[in-house]
A and B are shown apart, each in its own frame.
Chain A
Amino acid sequence: MNALVNLLACALAMLPAPFLWQGRLPLPLRGAVLGAALLCFEVFSVLSFGNAEPYALYEMYPLEMFALCLCVSTLLLKRRRAFFAALAQGFWLWVEFFGRLSLSYRNVPFDYLPLALLVAGLAFSPLLNVRRFDARLYFAVFWAGVWIVA
Chain B
Amino acid sequence: MFRALFAIGLLLCIPAACVLDTALSAGPASWAVDQSTFWGTPVSNFVFWIGLAHAGTFFSAILCALSVRWGRRIAFPAEISTVAAIPVAAIFPLVHLGIPLRFYFLFPLGVVRNLYVNAESPLVWDFVAIGAYFALSVIFLALHALSVKRPEFGAYRKPFAWILFPLVLWVHTLVSLDFAVTCQSAWHGAYLPVYFIIGALYSGVALVLILCEVEHRRIRHLEELLLTGSWIILPFWIWEFLCKGVWNPGVLLFGFLFPQFLWIKSVRNTRLARVALAFSAVLAMWMERLHFVMPRPLDWTSVDYGWLVLGAGVFLSLYFGLRLWFQKQNVPVCTPAFSAVDRPAHALPRRSVLFAWCAGFAVTLAWVLWFKWRVPAMPWVRFIPIAFPAIAFVAGLVLSARAFSGLVSRKVLFAVCALLGIVAGVLCAAVYRGGDTLYVEPRAEIASEAVPAEPRDAALLWRTRCAACHGEDGNRNYKFVREFFPLPTEFSAERLDSLGTDSLAKVILDGRNYMSPQRGRISETEAHNLAVYMRFLAGGAK
Contact = CB atoms under 8 A, between A and B. Distances in A.
B177 A98 contact: yes
A34 interface: yes
Contacts of A148: none
A34 B231 CA distance: 8
Interface stretch (A16-24, A54-62, A124-132, A139-147): A54-62
A98 B224 CA distance: 29
A38 to B, nearest CB: 4
Contacts, number: 94
B242 A42 contact: yes
A95 B188 CA distance: 15
Nearest to B482: A105
Given A101-B381, A101-B382, A32 B231 contact: yes
B191 A30 contact: no
Contacts of A35: 231-232, 234-235
* Chain A interface, DSSP helix/strand/loop, else mixed: helix
B239 A42 contact: yes
A35 to B, nearest CB: 4
Contacts of A46: 242-243
Contacts of A78: none
A39 B224 contact: no
A86 B263 CA distance: 33
B385 A101 contact: yes
Interface in B227-268: 227-232, 234-235, 238-239, 242-243, 262-263
Contacts of A98: 173, 176-177, 190, 193
B234 A102 contact: no
A104 B122 CA distance: 13
A27 B173 contact: no
A33 to B, nearest CB: 8
Contacts of A95: 191, 193-194
Given A95-B193, A99-B190, A39 B243 contact: no
B190 A56 contact: yes
A110 B190 contact: no
Q: Give chain A's interface residue range (CB within 8 Å of chain B).
A: 20 to 34
A145 to B, nearest CB: 22
A100 B379 CA distance: 14
B74 to A, nearest CB: 16
Nearest to B182: A105
B224 A28 contact: yes
B192 interface: yes
B188 A59 contact: yes
Given A55-B243, A98-B177, A102-B177, A30 B228 contact: yes
B296 to A, nearest CB: 20
A104 to B, nearest CB: 7
Nearest to B224: A27
Contacts of A30: 228
B173 A94 contact: yes
A27 B180 CA distance: 31
Nearest to A112: B381
B344 interface: no
Contact of B224 (A26, A59, A62, A110): A26
A28 B221 CA distance: 10
9 contacts: A28-B228, A39-B235, A62-B239, A63-B191, A94-B194, A99-B193, A101-B385, A102-B180, A102-B190
Interface of B: 169, 173, 176-177, 180-182, 188-194, 221, 224-225, 227-232, 234-235, 238-239, 242-243, 262-263, 381-382, 384-385, 482
Per CB-CB distance, the 3 closest pairs between chain A and chain B, nearest first, are A31-B228, A99-B190, A28-B227
Given A42-B242, A62-B235, A98-B173, 7 more contacts: A31-B231, A56-B188, A95-B193, A102-B180, A105-B180, A106-B188, A110-B381
